[in-house]
Structure 1
Amino acid sequence: MTERTRSRIQAAEMGFLRRVAGVSLRDKVRSSVIREGLGVEPLLLRVKRSQLRWFGHLVRMPPGHLPREVFQARPAGKRPRGRPRTRWRDYISSLAWERLGIPQSELVDVAREKKVWGTLLELLPPRPDHG
């Protein structure tokens, strides 16, 4: 997700939350204070947690199920010129390293342990909020 898309999502989310809380921009109330008051976690954090939860589900899925087969597939053939597109597998690996501190080599082993994986996702820390 690009930085521009990320900022647009955050702006739309905060616009909605400000209306729900009855606060305008002129009141100069921080976004984190509004979220705490409403008891809502940041939308992008929720999306990332859901993606990581789905990854754990994929890893634990029995062999032969279509989603797992698609995830593990390695298509043959020539790739187009230029920078390769980011694969979902690479995105999840970088997300797990960045947010959970789990290296790519251990990611699948940790995700196979359902209770450990669930606990890690619950402890997923939000990034510091700047506004």
Structure 2
Amino acid sequence: MRSVYRTVVVKKELSRKAKLSIYRSIYVPTLTYGHELWVMTERTRSRIQAAEMSFLRRVAGRSLRDRGGVPGVCPTGRRPRGRPRTRWRDYVSRLAWERLGIPLEELEEVSGVREVWASLLRLLPPRPGPGPSG
């Protein structure tokens, strides 16, 4: 794959269209050769997709840090019904404030000291969750 990168992607003489046709005809088949014998796990699929995106980013002359010209993402669709799930951090900070009177700022400072943090968590009740099934 490195030789394809050196001979194709970095060449200024080749047009983007030519690079993309080389991508479709050489890079993808080489990358996926032998996959019919593999167990396609989520990790394998993710690594293949990352390799493909890396190649395409290089062809486009972009890097992972290039975010210029992309406005903030506006979510589309609807939110799920019901109340949002309580994050662990929100649960602990609310309990620490209600039961112990510790504000969030002090809680963040204390969270860096393992012994103090552990002793604080022992003072709080366990988080309610789904009971044992069965």
Which structure has more RCO (C-alpha within 8 Å, separation ≥ 6)? 1
Task: Return the structure number with greater helix share.
Answer: 1
Q: TM-score, normalised by structure 2?
A: 0.28
Structure having the higher Rg: 2
Report the TM-score when normalising by structure 1: 0.28
